[in-house]
Amino acid sequence: MEALHLILTLFVIGMSIFSLISYSSRRADSRASREQLLAKDKHHRLLTQEEQQLIAELDKADWQSTHQQVFYLKGEYLGHGLEGGEMHRTIGGVEVVLPFDALNHVTEDNLAEVVNTDGKKMLVVSLNDSFTLAGGKADQAAREVSNERWQQGAVGVLNDDSELPEEWQVKVLSSRQESLEERQLRYSPSWKIVTALLLAASLACLAWSNDDPLFWGIPALVFLALALWAYSRKRALPEPLKVNYVEGVLRKVNGFYLVGNMEAYVPPEWHESKLLTGQIERFEMRTDHQLMQVPRLGLTHKPKKPAAWVHHLVLGLTALVMLGLGLINFSSPKADLFYSWHWLMGTEATNYHSLAELKAKPPAVGDWVYLRGKARCWGRYGYSGSPCETLLFGAPEDLGPLPEASAAWRELLESQWFEKASLSSSEQLYLTMLAVQSGRHFDPSSLRTLTDPNKLVLLVERACASGCDYATQTLTELMDEDWSTLLEKARKGELEPVLLNSSRAAQVSRSLDNEADTEMRQLANQSWHQLEGKASLGQLLEVWPSPLYWPTETAASDYQSYLALKKMAGPEGQESIAVPAVVIANGERLVLDSGYYMDRPWPFLSGGLYLALSALLALCQLLLAWRGARRQG
């Protein structure tokens, strides 16, 4: 699929480049032909005074002045240009300006008189012995008179000129006003784009008004009123035109249809072979030159009825987009709708004081409940001060006992091994002088004392059955003794308190935590696995915003996480809650939203009204669009 898309893209790019190159090449050839004409051919006469005056009256969009020399130009007529751009007309390969109605006098093989201009084109002053500037101006004046009579529906020959060939004559036999049905077929109903924009602006202000009802609520009402006004306005039917019953010859010149010498618009569904007979026919033509009827062939112009349902589609899609934006951006669209419904209905909350009541009559989605009782945070990890994402409601006070850590590890991790060093003035002076000699800064407050190295060494040995390499290495480096020597001295109580800076003290504490991680992680995992099996003793809740917060930082270390699980499983882990909320989902977990207050209804009413209006408008307008499209076929 991607390869096909690439091939099509390259094809379109290639064709565009080819068209541009061909267009540029034709323009270059046209300039070269003009230069060759001026260089090799000799002019055969000069412009007359009358021709100069007539040229001065012409519209000079691409040129300002002309030369006096008149040249002959022979050759085929060709028109070319880029789509949506200027049409370039050439005779014999030279780009020309065809003034007045000179285009109607073009044939397959042309002989023209031209003069050079200060632009890139040459001006035609006569063509094929049938067009001159004077004749073109006279024809234009006659056409203006004929057009005025045509618009009025004046009966008779429009261009009363006996010198005109018969096939150029147009005779109006009668005239009538355009019927209401014909006017309706020309009617183009509005797509209501302005209404859609005003509707979107009103809904957006409504959504923002939950924070400041007055500031955003007033613009929401104004935009809604304007949207209703724009929706109720109907585009007026076009002014009625004259429909003239005419007699003339329908012909085709250079791709354009003419009745007599008057342009005509032929419906594309009519077959050209049956129309172009070269004989005088009778037609019904509107004054905008649209052919309406050909009685001989029984043809009647019946344009496709405009789609009057498109504005319903535009408004329905706009409402659908706004509904989607609301569902994506609102924190809890369901809660907005549920709260709005209960507030409007004046519903009383269903009270639940215990797990037994909750199990006896489980609430349904959308119910307004008031939950009171004991609950605890429920989860493997949590951070101090952060809300508990999941609660366990109504479980027994004590969910233990949980696996216990060894006494050695508990004492090792819970003991305070360091104290802030207390130095005499002479000791501080001595250490300051040493720091100055070594070029370092000395801060007495950063010093710590390892108060009981004997106990620390013995606990490390006892706690680590398989050896604690990191902790033993840190202690041997700190005390400058091998481990066996340290153990021997510790058993005899010969190790003295050690003075060290805060970074070394932190390194010792870190080494103890790292050594404990493996065992404490396993212990915490066993504890959590045991607790997970007891979740069925209560009801799992997800409440937003949560009424409970994690009391301690449980993710700093695995031992702290284990301690938090022990506290969570015990009586001290439970707290009283009182949660008025709507039920968002039920099942294994009961999902509640308690983010709004019934005595302050606008924050949820604005959201509920936004969603309800968007959904209702989308449904109604899309149904109307479907119904209209189906009726139109």
DSSP letter string, 293-347: EETTTTEE--PPPP-TTHHHHHHHHHHHHHHHHHHHHSS-HHHHHHHHHHHHHTP
Is the separation of the CB atoms in 247 and 180 below 8 Å? no
Model confidence at 467, pLDDT cuts 50, 70, 90, reads low
Q: Which residues pair with 127 in a beta bridge?
A: 112, 131
Residue with tokens 């199990």: 359
Give the tens place of pLDDT for each residue, 276-334: 777 888 888 888 888 888 887 777 777 776 677 888 889 999 999 999 988 888 888 99
Distance, CA of 380 to CA of 396 (rounded, Å): 19
How do strand 94-97 and strand 156-157 relate by DSSP bridges?
Answer: unpaired
Which one has a higher pLDDT value, 151 or 586?
586
Cα 394 to its chain centre, rounded Å, is: 46
Based on the number of CB atoms within 10 Å of its own CB, is 216 exposed (0-12), middle (13-18) or buried (19 or more)?
Answer: middle
Q: What is the mean pLDDT of the chain?
A: 82
Angle at Cα 461 formed by Cα 458 and Cα 466, nearest 5°?
170
* CB-CB neighbours of 150 under 10 Å: 22
Contact (CB, 8 A) for 544 and 594 = yes
Instruction: Tell me the three state secondary structure of residue 158.
Output: coil
- The arithmetic mean of pLDDT across residues 99-107, rounded, is 82
Q: For residue 518, give the nearest of 566, 553, 470, 476 by alpha carbon.
A: 470
Non-local CB neighbours of 326 within 8 Å, separated by 6+ positions: 203, 207, 333, 607, 610, 611, 614
Query: Could you give the C-alpha distances from 103 to 50, 133, 543, in angstroms and in order?
Result: 21, 12, 81
In the prediction, which pLDDT does 60 show?
Answer: 72
Torsion angle in degrees (nearest 10) through CA of 292, 295, 297, 302: 30
Beta strands in 118-184 (DSSP E): 122-127, 131-132, 156-157, 171-177
User: Could you count the other beta carbons within 10 Å of the beta carbon of residue 465?
Assistant: 10
Q: Is residue 319 a contact partner of residue 611, using CB atoms and an 8 Å limit?
A: no
Q: What is the per-residue pLDDT for 74?
A: 86
Q: Which two tokens stand for residue 69?
A: 């020399």
Structure tokens at 414: 């819970």
What is the rounded (10 degree) CA torsion for 555, 558, 561, 563? -150
In this prediction, residues 7-33 reach a mean pLDDT of: 67
Query: How do residues 158-172 score in pLDDT, each as one tens digit?
Result: 766 656 676 677 888
Cβ 206 vs Cβ 216: under 8 Å: yes
Span 384-400, pLDDT tens digits: 678 888 999 999 988 87
Cα distance between residue 477 and residue 229, in whole Å? 86
Residue 427 vs residue 270, higher pLDDT: 270
Gyration radius (Cα) of the chain, Å:
48
Place of tokens 């004749």: 135
Residues 615, 190: Cα–Cα separation, whole Å: 23
Quick one: pLDDT at residue 332? 87
298 or 229, which is more confident: 229
Q: What is the mean pLDDT of residues 102-107?
A: 83
| DSSP letter string, 425-482 | HHHHHHHHHHHHHTT----GGGEEEE--HHHHHHHHHHH-TT--HHHHHHHHHHHTS-
Confidence class for position 553, pLDDT limits 50, 70, 90: low
Per-residue pLDDT at 26: 67
Decide if 474 contacts 464 (C-beta within 8 A).
no
Q: Dig out the tokens for 203 from the structure.
A: 């809904």
Q: Where are the chain's structural domains?
A: 35-144, 153-186+238-298, 189-235+307-329+609-632, 333-400+534-594, 407-521
Which residues fall within 8 angstroms of residue 382, CB to CB, at 6 or more apart? 388, 550, 554, 555, 564
Calculate mean pLDDT across residues 147-161: 79
> Which residues are CB-contacts of 558 (< 8 A; sequence separation ≥ 6)?
516, 517, 520, 521, 523, 524
Taking 80 as the threshold, does the pLDDT of residue 205 lie above it?
A: yes
For residues 60-81, average pLDDT? 78
- The arithmetic mean of pLDDT across residues 105-115, rounded, is 85
CA 172 from chain center: how many Å?
A: 57
Q: What is the pLDDT of residue 1?
A: 42
350, burial (CB in 10 Å: exposed 0-12, middle 13-18, buried 19+) = middle
